[in-house]
């Protein structure tokens, strides 16, 4: 069973770790390595369960464990997202960058256009003299 969106694979063979633990470990690893960037919206519990052929309770258990570890955060009706890592300013900057990315996409900017806008703003703000 594989999730096309997240590239998650669940090994259902005997002797494998419990499916919720496989899911938890793979999402945590992808978040830690940046393959799932801060602010990445995860599928709904029901949606991911259907995609992987798992019970919704199995996915919910993995999500609860990940949330308890600070890897993901649930934002009510807005969904579940990969949490910003780090402390204080780094975490706040990652959250602000996510808001910018969402707004740029809604405005119809390409990734290159959004990156140019952000780079120009940073250069203007950090310019010396």
DSSP string, 1-66: -EETTTTEE---STTSPPHHHHHHHHHHHHHHHTSS-TTPEEPPHHHHHHHHT--HHHHHHHHHHH
Residue 54: exposure state from Cβ atoms within 10 A (0-12, 13-18, ≥19):
buried
For 120, the token pair is 């120009």
pTM beyond cutoff 0.75: no
- Tell me the backbone φ, ψ of residue 11, rounded to 5 degrees: -95, 110
Q: What is the pLDDT of residue 3?
A: 57
Q: Which residue is it, tokens 């570890």?
A: 69
Instruction: Summarize pLDDT for 76-89 with one digit per residue, the tens.
Output: 888 999 987 766 67
Q: Mean of the per-residue pLDDT values for the chain?
A: 87
Q: What is the mean pLDDT of residues 102-117?
A: 93
Output the DSSP codes for 56-110: HHHHHHHHHHHHHTTSEEE-GGG-EEEPPPSSHHHHHHHHHHHHHHHHHHHTT--
Q: Does the pLDDT value for residue 2 go beyond 60?
A: no
CA 12 to chain centre: 24
Which among 3, 93, 108, 87 has a CA at the least distance from the CA of 39?
93
Q: Which of 4-18, 85-99, 109-123 has the weakest average pLDDT?
A: 85-99
For 72, the token pair is 């993901």
């Amino acid at each position: 069973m594989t999730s096309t969106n997240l590239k998650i694979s669940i090994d259902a063979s005997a002797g494998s770790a419990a499916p919720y633990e496989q899911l938890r470990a793979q999402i945590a690893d992808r978040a830690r390595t940046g393959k799932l960037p801060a602010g990445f919206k995860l599928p709904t519990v029901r949606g991911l369960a259907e995609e992987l052929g798992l019970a919704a309770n199995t996915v919910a258990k993995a999500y609860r464990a990940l949330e308890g570890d600070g890897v993901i955060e649930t934002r009510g009706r807005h969904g579940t997202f990969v949490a910003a890592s780090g402390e204080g300013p780094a975490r706040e900057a990652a959250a602000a960058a996510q808001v910018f990315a969402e707004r740029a996409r809604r405005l119809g900017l390409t990734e290159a256009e959004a990156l140019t806008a952000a780079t120009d703003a940073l250069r203007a703000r950090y310019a010396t003299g």
